[in-house]
Structure 1
């Protein structure tokens, strides 16, 4: 398209984002359709008191591609404010603190984006019509971003319970009456000393394709002089980012009592550690 991206209506303090690729829509020349989009939202949005009559919110925005009015051959990026999920304008959910979006995912091939909110429930946004529906009062059993893996036809992320890598089928989520069941794959990296290695932010999963992944975990250490991860020596009072390659493949479970059901097998590979240096630390991998 060769055009600069527009500005957000309002910068975000703690943003989450969803990339929604819509190649079929991108090929069409229809001003009424939104193509490939990037949705950006406040992870801990504030209550919007007195905004009940206003349709849109600058806490929820989208960069969306659209056909230009004057030609059928070019596309342009638009930055649009979105209507907020309904709980944002309900004071009963904001007693004492602002609820956090605890987990989020792209569903149905990009037709929906889904957010789960601590103490509130789960909502789904139609990425074409930009309308929200409440899915349920339950939340996804994940923490952070949940990644769809086409090869497995499942969604992978980190369990809210123990931060293990876990998989679930989130298709048809709008018809679920309760949390989806997780398939726990375990933890790919064991810390040298769990009492000293404290996770300081959400782990991140990068899908490399063909069942290969990279997991980034973020720690803060205090008294770990002399410990090693990979080729790196750990000194005290440092922020650490540990990167682990792994592979996830289907496997047939023991037919004894499982009827030959297909599960998943995770195989961790090498871990490498990056330590903070002169106040510089890795805080995100994408």
Structure 2
């Protein structure tokens, strides 16, 4: 799916590509998760109109339409109903705006989507009955997407503790409404001091099976001496690039986890002009 909502389905076995229907509404800053044979798309910044902010791409052989795939709208997260009194007084409309902001999200079990917020706890969406509930007043100990690795029975992601976002693992099944999940293991190998002028932007984790992962980190770095001024604003020539790192997690004799870091490769997205912010660079 691209930034305009155009959706393609690729069938790897036949190497065929099929055009999918577009969602009912454009998503400003969406997150996506796969549960079973459905793709769930949730806008993390729904805005004042939260209709169609949460949709699922579903398949039905019984529908009398040209295409068997279709988007089904789902109830938005009930974040607004749990705000404390001070927040409600400051905001006139809290019915569907995400004031707390998404901190982490993942799939737990065969039917649960967990959305962790920065200040409102963690919410669970049951895909079997399309109902939201409160998983706990705690937040997941991760930032961004969290991936489950069945070979270890653990969830992997980037820790919300510290500054560089260490690669970490946790057993989310051990959590309860009153007991928050804790990190089972944290690795510092990928959180070494960055080269000068490297500005971290985003991080992604892709499980490859058998305890292997591809870790993708996006960076920007301004080019020295390349700047120009327009309308009183200073602009820098910035290079955007990704660093792909292979990692492998295995268990020792006593069940302890250890990570083997493999090669890293850098891929450049090219250069662009951005407005200079002294606090950013």
Does TM, scored on the shorter chain, surpass 0.5? yes
2-structure distance, mates of 1:176, 1:132: 14
- Structure 2: runs of 5 or more not aligned: 1-8, 10-16, 92-97, 226-236, 274-281
SS at match of 1:276: strand
Q: Give ranges in structure 1 of 5+ residues lacking alignment.
A: 22-35, 49-55, 226-235, 253-259, 281-286
- TM-score for both structures, normalised by structure 1: 0.72
Indicate if the aligned counterparts of 1:185 and 1:265 stay in contact, CA closer than 8 A. no
Structure-2 separation of matches of 1:104 and 1:190: 21
Partner Cα distance (2:193, 2:70) in 1: 48
Whether the aligned pair in 2 keeps the contact of 1:19 and 1:37 (CA below 8 Å) is yes
Are the structure 2 counterparts of residues 141 and 190 from structure 1 closer, same or farther at C-alpha, using a change threshold of 3 Å?
A: closer
Provide the aligned length of Structure 1 versus Structure 2. 236
SS in structure 2 opposite 1:171?
Answer: helix
* Structure 1 residues 243 and 136: alpha-carbon distance in aligned structure 2, compared to 1, 3 A threshold: same
Q: Contact between 2:38 and 2:58, CA under 8 Å: does it hold in 1? A: yes
CA offsets 1:195-250 (integer angstroms, 9 cap, x no match):
5222122x10111111111100111223689xxxxxxxxxx842221110010011
Return the offset for 1:6: 2.5
SS at match of 1:189: coil
Instruction: Give the CA RMSD over aligned residues.
Output: 3.1
Render the CA deviation track for 1:134-155: whole Å, top value 9, x for unaligned: 1111110100100000100111
1:100 CA displacement: 1.2
Kindly state the Cα deviation for residue 117 of structure 1 after the two structures are TM-superposed: 1.1
Higher strand share: 2
Q: Deviations over 1:182-203 (max 9, x none)?
A: 02331443666455222122x1
Give the aligned partner of residue 58 of structure 1.
52
Equivalent in the alignment of 2:168: 166
Structure 1 residues 197 and 269: alpha-carbon distance in aligned structure 2, compared to 1, 3 A threshold:
same
Within 5 Å, give how 1:124-143 maps onto structure 2.
Answer: 124-143=124-143
Say which structure, 1 or 2, has more relative contact order (CA 8 Å, 6+ apart): 1
- Equivalent positions of 1:176-215 (< 5 A) are 176-189=177-190, 193-201=194-202, 203-215=203-215
